[in-house]
Amino acid sequence: MARRAKLTYRMRIVYHLGAHCTDEERLVRCLLKNRSRLAEQGIVVPSPTRYRKLLRSTAVALKGQAASIETQALVLEEIMDEDVADRLVLSWDSFLSFPQWVLRDGLYAMAGERIRAFTQIFPRIEAEFHLAIRNPATFLPALYEKQKGKSYEEFIEGMDVQALRWSSVVAQILRMNPGVPLVIWCDEDTPLIWPEVLQAVSGHDDATELEDTDELLSQIMSPDGFARMRNYIATHPPGSVQQRRRIVSAFLDKFAVTDRIEMEFSLPGWTDAMVAEMTARYAEDVALIRQMDGVSFIGA
């Protein structure tokens, strides 16, 4: 007889939403490497190949309607091998939009509606959202690099790049998904807050030490500096999250590889003054998001 996953409403489904040009699959890679350890705590991390196309096709077929109990059970059976779980982690930067549509009618203009459509696949199971945001002054050039065969004018679609705000994206996600916890962090802070991000998404207990959590730091620091930092932390275990951040920050100041942390680009009409203005507005936007009801912010 075919196995059928048990549809349990005490489970929580965690949606890691990206955004594009932030995570680059780093989070799901790390959690997959620690899948067995996390499973001991009831945390299931399936391979993305098991759910990305499936969830999209199911959401399209449902047309915004709630899935039946039978459909929910069938989808869960395809996603997970376990009969039950406390927490199911799903990661995909195209939950919000496919890359080519990010700027259609605004920044992720349909994000709230799209996420709502995905959560309707499991309408009676608690959801939780996690999202990294990035300074538009670097986000847009990085996103443009992913647009194959498009001119800058086709990519920007007439948008006023100075007017793009993450707070608008966050507001519509909250509006379309009332009561769903939303955890946000700035991509620029990721090297300092990565352990907290991993724990927020996976939900593992404080005593759990994940393997291979320093992939990003190893990529942006010199090998010697990275080795020194690892040795220092091993011999001087930080007593708090804040202390660990200070240690990492100090080693980054000394050993960061400049061309790996600084982005050079040239886009039509962009000036240094424009980039500075976008960065200042981003800082204001982040301050606004921190104060929004329903948002938990991970910050350095």
Q: Which residues contact 240 (CB under 8 A, 6 or more apart)?
A: none
Using left for φ > 0, alpha for ψ between -120 and 50, and beta otherwise, residue 165 falls in beta
Residue 30 and residue 85 in contact, taking contact as beta carbons nearer than 8 Å: no
pLDDT value of position 6: 56
pLDDT value of position 2: 46
pLDDT value of position 235: 95
Does position 31 have pLDDT exceeding 70, yes or no?
yes
**Cα atoms in the Cβ-side hemisphere of radius 13 Å centred on 223:** 0
Q: How far is it, in rounded angstroms, from Cα 186 to Cα 25?
A: 16
pLDDT digits (tens, 9 = 90+) for 152-173: 999 998 899 999 999 999 999 9
CA distances from 244 to 41, 193, 216, 250, 252 (A): 25, 9, 15, 10, 12
Q: Beta strand 87-91 with 126-133: parallel, antiparallel or unpaired? A: unpaired
Share of the chain above pLDDT 70, in %: 97
Tokens of 215: 């992939």
**Cα atoms in the Cβ-side hemisphere of radius 13 Å centred on 105:** 5
pLDDT confidence tier of residue 84, bands split at 50, 70 and 90:
confident
Residue 141 and residue 267 in contact, taking contact as beta carbons nearer than 8 Å: yes
Tell me: cis bond preceding 19? Omega within 30 of 0 counts: yes
Does position 1 have pLDDT exceeding 60, yes or no?
no
Q: How far is it, in rounded angstroms, from Cα 192 to Cα 206?
A: 18
Residue 41 and residue 85 in contact, taking contact as beta carbons nearer than 8 Å: no
Share of the chain above pLDDT 90, in %: 87
> If you average pLDDT over residues 255-271, what whole number do you get?
86
> If you average pLDDT over residues 283-298, what whole number do you get?
97
pLDDT digits (tens, 9 = 90+) for 199-255: 999 999 999 999 989 989 999 999 999 999 999 999 999 999 999 999 999 999 999
Does position 148 have pLDDT exceeding 90, yes or no?
no
Polymer length of the chain: 300
Strand ranges, E, within 92-241: 126-133, 182-186
> Where are the domains positioned within the chain?
12-211+268-298
Architecture category of domain 12-211+268-298 in CATH? 3-Layer(aba) Sandwich (3.40)
Does position 4 have pLDDT exceeding 60, yes or no?
no
Average pLDDT, the chain: 93
pLDDT digits (tens, 9 = 90+) for 40-61: 999 999 999 999 999 999 999 9
Q: Running DSSP on this structure, what letter comes out for residue 65?
A: P
